[in-house]
Amino acid sequence: MKSGFVVPTDLDPIERHPKAVGPGERMRMHNHMCYGCGEDSPNGLHLEIYAGEGFTIRASMEVEPHFEGGPGVLHGGILTTAFDDVMGMAPLLVGPSAVTVHLEVDFLRPIPVGSTLELSATLLGRQRRKLYTEGVAHIGDPDQPVAVAHAIFVSINAREHFAEHLDKSQISDEYKQRLSRP
């Protein structure tokens, strides 16, 4: 697969967290207002994301007419957003929250409006707080990917990381309180 991203060869091995969601189960929503997977996000992608075997994650996305970029094809930014969200779930298989610090996408083929996009992500390994992830998308034939992505997520303490922005969020007060508890 064409990609210029160099995955370090000295990644540390990873272990699935004992409390991680099991293979085939839906990943818990990290934020119900999330543009990617939040069920209450008014204009979001509403991705349903599932844990796979090992360190994998998967999701499907219908390419709706309002996701158009070039005539008749999916906007690259929407695809990138979907990758960010699906790949962003992979670190949760091994530990607590992590946020994107780097994400790049190789667009291999146009993705027609009306197709069903199958997205998968694999957590490759870690280096200190950095978690390396690869994503692949296809529209029916897994041997013919339409895009490949690579991302680095960095683990964070969610309470501290989001503390000063919680007041701007549309999440419920109950969720805000939960996140702001020490």
Ligand X SMILES: CCCCCCCCCCCCCCCC(=O)SCCNC(=O)CCNC(=O)[C@H](O)C(C)(C)COP(=O)(O)OP(=O)(O)OC[C@H]1O[C@@H](n2cnc3c(N)ncnc32)[C@H](O)[C@@H]1OP(=O)(O)O
Closest chain position to ligand X (CB): 88
3-state secondary structure of 83: helix
Q: Which two tokens stand for residue 19?
A: 């409390």
SS3 content of the chain, % helix, strand, coil (to 5): 20, 30, 45
> CB of 49 within 8 A of CB of 89?
yes
Q: What is the CA radius of gyration of the chain?
A: 16
Q: Extract the runs of DSSP E, i.e. beta strands, from the chain.
A: 49-51, 56-62, 98-107, 116-127, 130-138, 147-155
Residue closest to 60 by CA, chosen among 39, 42, 43, 37: 37
Nearer to ligand X, 63 or 87 (CB): 87
Q: How far is the CB of 134 from ligand X (least distance, A)?
A: 15
Q: Which two tokens stand for residue 107?
A: 């667009």
Q: How far is the CB of 95 from ligand X (least distance, A)?
A: 11
Nearer to ligand X, 116 or 127 (CB): 127
Per DSSP, helices labelled H in 26-157 are: 76-89
The residues of the shown chain that bind ligand X, judged by CB under 6 A, are 30-31, 36, 84-85, 88-89, 97, 99-102, 127-130, 152, 154, 156, 158, 162, 179
Q: How far is the CB of 42 from ligand X (least distance, A)?
A: 17
Q: How far is the CB of 56 from ligand X (least distance, A)?
A: 15
Nearer to ligand X, 91 or 113 (CB): 91
Nearer to ligand X, 89 or 113 (CB): 89
Q: How far is the CB of 143 from ligand X (least distance, A)?
A: 27
